[in-house]
């Protein structure tokens, strides 16, 4: 941890940062967009009695609603226009990527370049609207069915008008967040979708820390448990930083070539393959897919005894073995799936062959592709095990000691990974700005001559 912080401080040149006007504009845009998102999480949904809803929500704490509330940045607890957050867009992206890998027409569209990518993004947006409308309608119906301990409903005037209003408002909020995430990616710094989820999680950490300290003062949590939890958080963060920076370097050799009267080439380089190529995508995808059916269960009047949803809710509650098994299995699946999408061994081997590069001891072409696929599969196994370990072990301990979800492995992984990616992009912008300055100086010196 200390070495990573020292390296970050060494890489961050504050003099260059002060001169990088474009980077500062991107950072201000990102901060402004995230502030707009946070303001939106406090805009209430029309037709809801906030006091009754708070009582209902507190009665369901410790279950799936708490986890969904964490990803929504507290918007679900306040029942605001961003109650679904950006989760429908993530679910739509997952389904579109699965369809692209299975449908030849979509696969061909993906290979068309920028035009094909824009078409697929447009399909994803349309599908997001459909998913958001379905989930918003389920949310409206669930709110009408929920009652407090005094048999009072959180909905002031139930009926078709409330359902239509809720669907329009929630879908509009989801579309706005989808657009805001795309704007952050294009005009800001970092991945917009990840930063929106990151902002929601970080916003709830102070309240979670205060609640944990209050439990400690009341004696509900022993001081030894709190110290152990703090050590766990620090250890998990350090482990995440170490694993996210780990990579397998494949040596690539370039032959010598005669260019004019000079001999060039003959250098050796390396191809860095990250141990966790998929990054934070598998936990986010796995959580969104699990939250989709669990949300339906949570808002369908669970607890009637004869309802099959009661059984589903009981076995898929947070911390239950069935939930852990499904969550771990989905993380492993998406780790391999997303790695296969991001890195194509055949394409990489063909590019090496075109530029005359080769892996020592491996024949160019198909043999190189098979070797890269073999190496990537092995390191992805380690990366998937790392993701499952980080996401499940703290979740088990937290479920056992009934601590807030914000200290779980999934939230820590998302927070640390998004911070590292954003800092890396800031560093890249600084390097690009320094190169631009050097080029301008070289041109000015040439003009003086």
**For the chain, how many structural domains are there in total?**
1
* pLDDT for res 315: 67
Q: 90 vs 133, 282, 288, CA distance in Å?
A: 14, 11, 7
Cα–Cα distance for residue pair 152/173, rounded to 1 Å: 27
- Give the mean model confidence (pLDDT) for residues 96-124: 83
* The pair of three-digit structure tokens given for residue 191, joined into one six-digit string: 């991945």
Which residues, other chains included, contact 3 with Cβ-Cβ below 8 Å and sequence gap of 6+? none
Residue of higher predicted confidence among 82 and 413: 82
Paired tokens of 40: 């939106």
Please, which residues have CB within 8 angstroms of residue 65's CB and are 6 or more apart in sequence?
57, 76, 298
Phi, psi of 361 (to 5 degrees): 85, -5
If one compares 316 and 79, the residue with the highest pLDDT of the two is 79
CA 432 to chain centre: 26
Query: Residue 416's pLDDT is what?
Result: 86
Smallest CA-to-CA distance from 329 within 369, 368, 370, 384 is with 384
User: What b/e string do you get for 3-25 counting C-beta neighbours within 10 Å, with b at 16 or more?
Assistant: eeeeeeeeeeeeeeeeebeebee
- Assign 158 a pLDDT band (cuts: 50, 70, 90): confident
Q: What is the pLDDT of residues 169-220, one digit of tens each?
A: 999 999 999 999 999 999 988 888 889 988 888 888 788 778 778 877 887 7
Q: Three-state SS for 252?
A: strand
Packing angle between helix 160-187 and helix 114-145, nearest 10 degrees? 150
User: What are the phi and psi torsion angles at 166 (to 5°)?
Assistant: -65, -45
Is residue 259 very low, low, confident or very high in pLDDT (cuts 50, 70, 90)?
Answer: low
∠ Cα 7 335 2 (to 5°): 15
| Banded model confidence at residue 302, pLDDT cuts 50, 70, 90 | very low
* Distance, CA of 200 to CA of 85 (rounded, Å): 9
Tokens of 371: 């070797």
Residue with tokens 């898929």: 316
| Mean pLDDT for the stretch of residues 103-123 | 83
Q: Is the pLDDT reported for residue 232 higher than 90? A: no
CB 66 within 8 A of CB 318: yes
Query: What is the residue-averaged pLDDT of the chain?
Result: 79
| Strand, helix or coil for residue 251 | strand
pLDDT attached to residue 305: 44
Q: Please enumerate in sequence order all residues whose Cβ is within 8 A of that of 129, keeping only pairs 6 or more positions apart, or say none.
A: 171, 174, 175
Closest C-alpha to 57, from 120, 195, 149: 149
Burial of residue 26 (number of CB atoms within 10 Å: 0-12, 13-18, 19+): buried
Residues 6+ apart with CB under 8 A from 70: 200, 201, 204, 405, 406, 411
Q: Cβ(60)–Cβ(298) under 8 Å?
A: yes
Identify the domain containing residue 311 by its residue range.
2-448
pLDDT band at 435 (very low <50, low <70, confident <90, very high): low
Percent of the chain scoring above 70 in pLDDT: 78
The long-range contacts involving 420-426, CB below 8 angstroms and separated by at least 24 positions, are 420/241, 420/244, 420/245, 421/190, 421/191, 421/194, 421/279, 422/189, 422/190, 422/195, 423/8, 425/189, 425/190, 426/12, 426/23, 426/27, 426/189
Question: What would the pLDDT profile of 403-430 be if each residue is shown by its tens digit?
Answer: 655 566 778 888 888 888 888 888 877 7
Across 162-171, 208-217, 274-283, least confident range:
208-217
CATH number at residue 402: 1.10.3370.10
3-12, 68-77, 201-210: range with lowest mean pLDDT: 3-12
3-state secondary structure of 212: helix
- Rounded Cα–Cα distance for residues 292 and 295 (Å): 5
Does residue 327 carry a pLDDT above 90?
no
Residues sharing a CB contact under 8 Å with residue 235, sequence separation 6 or more, in sequence order: none
The per-residue pLDDT for 417 is: 85
DSSP strand E in 33-164: where?
none
Q: Token pair for residue 116?
A: 């094909």
Paired tokens of 306:
């004869």
* Strand pairing category for 256-259 and 268-274: unpaired
Q: Which residues pair with 253 in a beta bridge?
A: 268, 358
At 372, list the tokens: 């890269």
Residue that the structure tokens 């020592």 belong to: 360
DSSP state of 247: E
| Position 30 confidence tier, pLDDT thresholds 50, 70, 90 | very high
């Amino acid at each position: 941890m200390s070495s990573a912080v020292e390296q970050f401080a060494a890489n961050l040149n504050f003099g260059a940062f002060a001169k990088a006007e474009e980077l500062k504009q991107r950072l201000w845009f990102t901060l402004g967009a995230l502030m707009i998102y946070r303001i939106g999480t406090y805009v209430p949904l029309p037709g809801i009695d906030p006091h009754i809803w708070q009582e209902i929500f507190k009665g369901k704490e410790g279950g799936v609603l708490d986890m969904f509330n964490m990803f929504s940045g507290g918007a679900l607890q306040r029942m605001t226009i961003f109650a679904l957050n950006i989760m429908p867009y993530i679910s739509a992206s997952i389904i579109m990527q699965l369809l692209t890998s299975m449908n030849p027409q979509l696969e061909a569209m993906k290979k068309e370049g920028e035009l094909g990518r824009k078409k697929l993004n447009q399909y994803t947006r349309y599908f997001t609207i459909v998913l958001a409308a379905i989930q918003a309608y389920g949310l409206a119906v669930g709110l009408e069915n929920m009652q407090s301990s005094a048999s009072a409903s959180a909905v002031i005037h139930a009926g078709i008008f409330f359902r239509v209003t809720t669907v329009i408002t929630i879908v509009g909020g989801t579309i706005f967040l989808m657009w805001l995430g795309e704007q952050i990616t294009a005009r800001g710094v970092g991945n917009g979708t990840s930063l929106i989820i990151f902002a929601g999680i970080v916003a709830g950490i102070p309240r979670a820390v205060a609640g944990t300290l209050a439990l400690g003062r009341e004696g509900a949590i022993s001081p030894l448990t709190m110290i152990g939890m703090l050590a766990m958080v620090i250890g998990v963060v350090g482990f995440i930083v170490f694993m996210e920076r780990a990579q397998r370097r494949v040596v690539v050799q370039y032959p010598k070539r005669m260019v004019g009267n000079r001999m060039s080439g003959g250098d050796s380089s390396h191809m860095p393959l990250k141990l966790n190529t998929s990054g934070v995508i598998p936990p986010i995808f796995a959580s969104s897919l699990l939250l989709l059916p669990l949300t339906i269960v949570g808002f369908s009047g669970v607890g009637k005894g004869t309802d099959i949803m009661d059984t589903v809710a009981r076995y898929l509650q947070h911390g239950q073995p069935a939930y852990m098994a499904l969550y771990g299995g989905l993380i492993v699946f998406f780790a391999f799936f997303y790695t296969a999408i991001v890195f194509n061994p055949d394409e990489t081997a063909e590019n090496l062959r075109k530029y005359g590069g080769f892996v020592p001891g491996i024949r160019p072409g198909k043999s190189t592709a098979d070797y890269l696929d073999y190496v990537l599969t092995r390191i992805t196994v380690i990366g998937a095990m790392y993701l499952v370990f980080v996401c499940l072990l703290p979740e088990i301990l937290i479920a056992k000691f009934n601590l807030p979800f914000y200290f779980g492995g999934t939230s820590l992984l998302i927070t640390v990974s998004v911070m590292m990616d954003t800092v890396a992009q800031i560093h890249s912008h600084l390097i690009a700005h320094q190169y631009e300055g050097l080029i301008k100086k070289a041109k000015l010196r040439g003009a003086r001559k």
